[in-house]
Amino acid sequence: MTAERTLHHFPLDPFSRQVRLAMGEKKLDFQELVERYWERPERLEALNASGMTPVLVDQVDGRPLVVAESRAVLEYLEEQYPERPLLPKDAGERAEVRRLQQWFDRKWDFEVNGLLLHEKIEKRLLRIGAPELAALRRGREAVRGHFQYLEHLLGDRDWLACDQLTLADFTAAGHVSVVDYLGELPWDKFPLVKTWYMKLKSRPCFRPLLADKVSPIAPADHYDNLDF
Amino acid sequence: MTAERTLHHFPLDPFSRQVRLAMGEKKLDFQELVERYWERPERLEALNASGMTPVLVDQVDGRPLVVAESRAVLEYLEEQYPERPLLPKDAGERAEVRRLQQWFDRKWDFEVNGLLLHEKIEKRLLRIGAPELAALRRGREAVRGHFQYLEHLLGDRDWLACDQLTLADFTAAGHVSVVDYLGELPWDKFPLVKTWYMKLKSRPCFRPLLADKVSPIAPADHYDNLDF
């Protein structure tokens, strides 16, 4: 039996999605292991003390190397598999990529995921009650603020951080795509953001994400539609 | 007038502290500009759309280069000023450093800062009421859980990520030191964590942090004491 590269992830975890996209773009094959992390599976906790996804188990010189948490996995992929680079060479552009990664992983995560994903996904999977409308409203308002900012950025740039597709796009797409699964994005009011997302969505690396279905939460009707 | 390297920061912001420590360790001189970010100063918002500290304005070939957010600044410093390296060479050790950075920037930030710093710093500076005792209690309990984990890690390692001082130690120290300013750490129950922190605290890069005083929040009595 040959040891394979494996990725422990959860389909609706925005941090896992960033890694699936980057690995897809770099054409790295891997076996997927879905982890329902809130049930605290032992297999996952043995690999990552935080108990969170994503965790990559790569095979290096015939031995397993465990890389846990999206920030570590994305930088690892870039350092070990630089052929299809997702960080620019220029220092200022690299800084811009990582600024935007922190924007999404911290600001969007707190202002959007903490409300919309908590109310519509976590409460459902953990069976801890119905969504609160006031929280959903605040989450939707936060999305509009973020989309306004992205629309502004995409006024001068082909991709989010610069004129090249980078980790910033995949970090953003990891977060945005989960909220899109829930049908909570105001696409029609933000044409540049919509075009940016259409370009991403039509890449081969996006296909596995568009096939995700996490019962009992059904994806929005347009979720896997490339022309939405 | 010569343009200088400047760092926009706030003394009790754990993310700013990470950068001050790393720059101190790398012996990079810089001018400090203190930003009361919750007052949304225009100078800061012009440099960083999130309105948050830290922001480094470096001087490269006689021109300013803006690097915003701790994740971007720390990787930038490592790439541009590698002389005193704070990331190991080994891929597995680099992954371990970044895993721990995400541990502190996400898990500790949510479980500890979101309670203790919110109740004891943010509420005071924003004048939005008195600390809630139940929240403080939960924050202190979370600290004990984190310290248990650090005590376990430090059982086999000289520093947090490996046997070398790395960005993981400075990220951890950025967070831990703000909670220490508030006098909320149970040092005596965690001897290995205490020894680790004493070693850090006695380094020259730590001195500016020990001199911080943010009125009206007084530091704990032992805060600047190297033998606490």
Q: For the segment A59-107, what is each residue's pLDDT rounded down to a tens digit?
A: 999 999 999 999 999 999 999 999 999 999 999 999 999 999 999 999 9
Which residue in B65, B71, B91 is closest to A101 by CB distance?
B71
Q: Is the pLDDT of residue A3 over 90?
A: no
Give A225 to chain B, closest Cα distance, Å: 32
* Pick from A4, A55, A69, A54: nearest CA to A31: A4
Give A102 to chain B, closest Cα distance, Å: 7
CB A176 within 8 A of CB A197: yes
Give B77 to chain A, closest Cα distance, Å: 10
Which residue in B50, B98, B149 is closest to A71 by CB distance?
B98
Asked if the Cβ–Cβ distance from B72 to A102 is below 8 Å, we say yes
d(CA B132, CA A209): 42
Give B123 to chain A, closest Cα distance, Å: 18
Q: Is the pLDDT of residue A58 over 80?
A: yes
* Pick from B37, B214, B35: nearest CA to B124: B214
CB A112 within 8 A of CB A119: no
Q: Tell me the C-alpha to C-alpha distance, in Å, between residue B196 and each of A54, A172, A205, B179.
A: 29, 36, 43, 16
Which residue carries 């796009």 as its tokens? A169
Which residue in A52, A79, A98 is closest to B72 by CB distance?
A98
Give B68 to chain A, closest Cα distance, Å: 6
Give A222 to chain B, closest Cα distance, Å: 31
Q: What is the DSSP string of B136-189?
A: HHHHHHHHHHHHHHHHHHTTT-SSSSSSS--HHHHHHHHHHHHHHHTT---GGG
Asked if the Cβ–Cβ distance from A48 to B99 is below 8 Å, we say yes
Q: Which residues of A touch B107 (CB under 8 A)?
A: 50, 52
* Rg of chain A in Å (alpha carbons): 17
pLDDT in tens, A171-190: 999 999 999 999 999 999 99
Q: Backbone phi, then psi, for A55, in 5-degree steps?
A: -130, 125
Span B50-76, average pLDDT: 97
Q: Which residues of A touch B48 (CB under 8 A)?
A: 99
For chain A, the distance separating the N- and C-terminal CA atoms, rounded to the nearest angstrom, is 43
Residues 6+ apart with CB under 8 A from A215: none
* Pick from B56, B58, B38: nearest CA to B47: B56
* Rg of chain B in Å (alpha carbons): 17
* Helix orientation angle between A91-102 and B70-80, rounded to the nearest 10 degrees: 150
CATH number attached to the domain at A91-210 = 1.20.1050.10
d(CA A225, CA B20): 47
Which residue in B72, B91, B95 is closest to A95 by CB distance?
B72
pLDDT in tens, B119-174: 999 999 999 999 999 999 999 999 999 999 999 999 999 999 999 999 999 999 99
- Of the pLDDT bands very low, low, confident and very high (cuts 50, 70, 90), residue A109 is very high
Q: Is the pLDDT of residue B2 over 70?
A: no
Tokens of A191: 């044409």
CATH 3.40.50.620 fits A3-80, yes or no: no
d(CA A18, CA A171): 5
d(CA B85, CA B78): 7
CB A32 within 8 A of CB A41: no
Asked if the Cβ–Cβ distance from B75 to A69 is below 8 Å, we say no
As for the ipTM of the complex, it is 0.97
| Strand order through the sheet with A6-9 | A31-34, A6-9, A55-60, A63-68
Cβ-based contacts under 8 A for chains A and B: 98
Average pLDDT, chain B: 97
What is the predicted pLDDT for the residue at A50?
Answer: 98
Q: Which residues of A touch B94 (CB under 8 A)?
A: 72, 75-76, 79
Residues shown for chain B:
228
Asked if the Cβ–Cβ distance from B67 to A149 is below 8 Å, we say no
Percent of chain A with pLDDT over 90: 97
d(CA A21, CA A149): 23
CB B8 within 8 A of CB B31: no
The total of other beta-carbon atoms located within 10 Å of residue B198's CB is: 13
What is the predicted pLDDT for the residue at A104?
Answer: 98
What is the predicted pLDDT for the residue at A91?
Answer: 98
Q: Which residues of A touch B103 (CB under 8 A)?
A: 49-50, 69
Q: Is the pLDDT of residue B3 over 80?
A: no
Q: Is the pLDDT of residue A2 over 90?
A: no
pLDDT in tens, A132-149: 999 999 999 999 999 999
| Domain chopping of chain A, boundaries | 3-80, 91-210
The strand pair at A63-68 and A31-34 is best described as unpaired
CB B7 within 8 A of CB B56: yes
pTM: 0.97
CB B74 within 8 A of CB B17: no
Q: Is the pLDDT of residue B222 over 80?
A: yes
Tokens of B217: 């929040």
Asked if the Cβ–Cβ distance from B106 to A101 is below 8 Å, we say no
Q: Which residues of B touch A48 (CB under 8 A)?
A: 99
What is the predicted pLDDT for the residue at A43?
Answer: 97
Tokens of B19: 């950068």
Q: Tell me the C-alpha to C-alpha distance, in Å, between residue B74 and each of A67, B25, B166.
A: 20, 12, 11
Q: Is the pLDDT of residue B179 over 60?
A: yes
Q: What share of chain A is helix, strand, coil (3-state, %, to 5)?
A: 55, 10, 35
